[in-house]
Structure 1
Amino acid sequence: MDTGDISFTSFGLVVLDEIRIPNQKPLTNILGGSGAHATLGARLFQAPPLNRTLAWPIHIGHDFPGPIADLLQSWGITLVIKEELDQPSTRGLLEYKDTTFGPKDFKYTTPVLAVDESHAEGSRILASRVYHYLATPRDIISRVSTLLAMRQEAGISSRPLIIWEPSPLACSPDNLQDCLEAARCVDVLSPNHLELAKLFSQAPGAAFAKSMIEELVTKFLDSGVGPDGTGAIVVRAGEHGCLVQSRDISPKWLPPFYGTGFVGRKDSPVVDPTGAGNAFLGGYGVGYIQTGDAVHAACYGSVAASFALEQIGMPEKVDQGDTELWNGVSVGTRLREYMSGEENKSIYA
C-alpha cells in the first residue's frame, strides 16, 4: 500500500473522561471515546510508515490537554483537527458501581463536539478504504449516503468498507426496523451481544446462549446486510469472544484473547473493559484490509481488544529498535500466539 493512501478512518468521538471508582480518587482527563479506541485498535497493527495511512478527524475545544494532544501526535497518524476556541472539549463522566469494573453509568458533562463527513472534504480521508462509525440507524443511513455522494463527486468510484457500531441507546425494539434498514447500507454491522438482544426484546439478564445470538443474527442476514446482501455481522460478546457470520460464512465463534475460552489466558491482567469493543473494530478494519477475510480480521480485532483491556485509558507504546512494543509486547507476536491457539487452529490450520 502507498503510504500516501488512507486505509482506515474513524468518525468516532474523542472524549475526555472522568472515571469514578468507589473508594478511590477520581481519574480525570482520561482519553476515551469510540474514535480514540477504534483508532488505537487500527494503530496497533500499522507501525511506521503505515501509521500515516490511518486518519482520525477530531473536534476539540479550547481546553484539550496538551499531554493528550502530544500522545495522539506520537502515534504518527493523520489527524484532522477542528478546534473550537470558545467551547470546551467533549467530556464524559464514567461511574463504576463497584471495584470489579462491571456495572457502570456514563453521561456527557459538556455539549458533544461531533465529527461529520465535512471533515473529509478536500482531504485524503475522502478516499479511505475503511470507515468506522458509531451512530444511530437514522444517522448512519444519512451519513453513508452523504459520504458516498462526496466520493462520487470527487471521482472516487470504489466502495469503501463501512463498519457500523449501532449507538447503544438506539438498540431498543422501537428501533429494530430502522436498524434492519440501516444494515443494508453498511458492510459490517457490529453490535455487542447485549445490544443485539435488546433490539429483539430479549431479556438482558438471560443466560448467555450462542444459539440465541446466532438466531438473532440470522434475522438480520435474512433482511440483508450490505447493499448486495453480502455484508457480515460481527457480534462482540466480551468474555464470550465474538461471532462472525454472513450469508457466505457459517457461524464462527472466536474466543477472547483474555478469558476462560482461550487456553493459557485464564489469569489475565484485565483491568478495564472500556473501549475494548471499539478497539476490536479498529483492529478488524485493518485486519480486513490485510487479509480480505472477515474471520481472519476478527482475530486482529480480538488481539486489539486485549490491549485496550490491560489498563485504564491507552496502552503504553515504546520503541525497541525497529520494533514497537505496546505494554511491553509485540502486537505481531500476540497475534501469532492468538491464531496458533488450539481454539483457532481449526479455522487457520
Structure 2
Amino acid sequence: MDISFTSFGLVVLDETRFPNRKPLTNVLGGSGAYATLGARLFLPSPLSRSLAWPIHVGNDFPDAIAEHLQTWDTNLALDKEPERPSTRGLLEYQDTTFGPKNFKYTTPVLAVQESKLQGSALLTSKVYHYLATPQDMKTHVLNILAIREKEGILDRPLIIWEPAPLSCKPENLEACLETAALVDMFSPNHLELAAFFGQSPASDTSEIERLGEKLLASGVGPEGKGTVVIRAGENGCFVRSRTTSQWLPPFYKADIGEEQPAKVVDPTGAGNAFLGGYAIGYLQRKGDILEAACYGSVAASFALEQVGMPEKSNEGGEELWNGESVVRRLREYRARQEL
C-alpha cells in the first residue's frame, strides 16, 4: 500500500496539572501524535495502514499506550531507546478553563531522523508534516528531498510546516521567510504569526489577514505556489494562496454568553490534528486547499473534546470516534460553508 502521510512531529508523554486537581500523568501528546490522529480520522481501516507513524521513544514508554496505538491499525514503527527516557512534558494550566498554560519538556527530546528512513516505505510518503524551527526545517526539507532522490523517488511530496513556538521571534523572521519558500504549506497559529513580526497577538481578523498576506508576498513554496494557513483558535482559520483568500470557522462556535462551546474540553493538540486532517483532505480532494481546510477543522473538533486522544469504536461496520461519524461531521461542516 502506498504511504499517504508521515509526521515527523514528536510523541510526548505529558503530565497535565490543573489548579486544585490531581495531575494527569502519561497523557499521550505531541505534535506527531495529534497530527497522525488528524490524518487517521479520515482513513478508516484498512486505509489506515497508509499512515506511516515513526515513533522514537525511551525505555519507560508504557506498554499500555504502545498497545493502544496498535489498535489504530497504522504503519507504526516504534524505535525504542534502551538507555534513555521517553520525551516527557509538563503542561500546567493557570486556571480551570483550559486557557492560559505553560509547557516545558522535562526530559531530552527524542526526535525521528530522516536518515533512518533510507530503504523504507516511509520515503514514498505523499505528505510529510514537521514541527520545527526555521533553521531545522530548512535542513529537514533538503535532507528528505535528497534521500528520496537518491532512492529514485523524483515526484515532490506535499511538505507541511508548523513553526516550533519558541522559535517564533522577530530575529527569526528572515530565516522563517527563507524556509517558507521551501515548503508547500506553512501554518503558524495566530500567536506564532504575531510573535514572528514582534507584535502582540492580533485580536481582529483583519490584522491576521494583513500578516498572512506579508508571508505570502515573500514567497511560500516552490515558485511561490504554496499556501499559508493561519490557525486562529475560536476564529477558525485563514486560508491564503495566490488564488484563494478565505476564512473558515471552527467546527464548534461559542453561543452568545458562552466563554467557550460546551463540547470544548481541552484545545491542546487541535492545531496539530488540523494539519493531519488537512493533509488527507488535500489528497482526497485533489489539491483543493479549502476542502482540505474543512477536513482540518473537523479533525481539530475531535481533538478538543477531551484531554488526550478521542476514543475509537466500531458500530455497524463504521468507525466512530467519541461515538461520532467523522464522515457525517465533515458533511455537516461542509454544508455550513456551502462547499
Query: By how many angstroms is 1:216 displaced?
Result: 0.8
Alignment of 1:25-174 (within 5 A): 25-174=22-171
Query: By how many angstroms is 1:268 displaced?
Result: 3.2
Per-residue CA deviation, residues 120-165 of structure 1 (Å, 9 max, x unaligned), is: 2211100100000000001111110010000001001100000000
1:329 aligns with 2:324: yes
1:307 aligns with 2:299: no
RMSD: 1.5
Distance 2:261 2:114 in 1: 43
Contact 2:10 2:33 in 1 (8 A): yes
Contact 1:230 1:248 in 2 (8 A): no
Alpha-carbon distance change, 144 to 261 in structure 1, aligned in 2, over 3 angstroms = farther
Alignment of 1:173-322 (within 5 A): 173-204=170-201, 206=202, 208-249=203-244, 251-260=245-254, 267-291=261-285, 292-322=287-317
Distance 1:326 1:177 in 2: 41
Distance 1:290 1:131 in 2: 16
Contact 2:238 2:246 in 1 (8 A): yes
Q: Which amino acid aligns with 1:120?
A: L
Alpha-carbon distance change, 306 to 340 in structure 1, aligned in 2, over 3 angstroms = same
Q: Which amino acid aligns with 2:23?
A: P
Per-residue CA deviation, residues 41-72 of structure 1 (Å, 9 max, x unaligned), is: 00000001110000111101111101110111
Query: By how many angstroms is 1:185 displaced?
Result: 0.4
3-state SS in 2 of match to 1:145: helix
**Aligned residue pairs: how many?**
337
Contact 1:259 1:268 in 2 (8 A): no
Distance 1:240 1:120 in 2: 38
* TM-score, scaled relative to structure 2: 0.97
Q: Which amino acid aligns with 2:282?
A: Y
Distance 1:137 1:305 in 2: 24
Q: Which runs of 5+ in 2 are unaligned?
A: none
Q: Which runs of 4+ in 1 moved over 6 A?
A: none
Distance 2:131 2:26 in 1: 22
Distance 1:83 1:328 in 2: 33
Contact 1:6 1:129 in 2 (8 A): yes
Distance 1:223 1:236 in 2: 19
Per-residue CA deviation, residues 213-251 of structure 1 (Å, 9 max, x unaligned), is: 1111111111100011000000000111000001121x2
Distance 2:119 2:152 in 1: 12
Contact 2:182 2:221 in 1 (8 A): yes
Distance 1:255 1:261 in 2: 14
Contact 2:255 2:261 in 1 (8 A): no
Distance 1:176 1:321 in 2: 51
1:21 aligns with 2:15: no
Q: Which amino acid aligns with 2:90?
A: L
Distance 2:118 2:17 in 1: 38
Contact 1:18 1:26 in 2 (8 A): yes
3-state SS in 2 of match to 1:259: coil
Contact 1:255 1:261 in 2 (8 A): no
Contact 1:240 1:261 in 2 (8 A): no
Q: Report % sequence identity.
A: 65
1:9 aligns with 2:6: yes
* TM-score, scaled relative to structure 1: 0.94
Query: By how many angstroms is 1:261 displaced?
Result: 8.6
Contact 1:80 1:119 in 2 (8 A): no
Q: Which amino acid aligns with 2:215?
A: F
Q: Which runs of 5+ in 1 are unaligned?
A: none
Query: By how many angstroms is 1:119 displaced?
Result: 3.0
Alpha-carbon distance change, 276 to 37 in structure 1, aligned in 2, over 3 angstroms = same
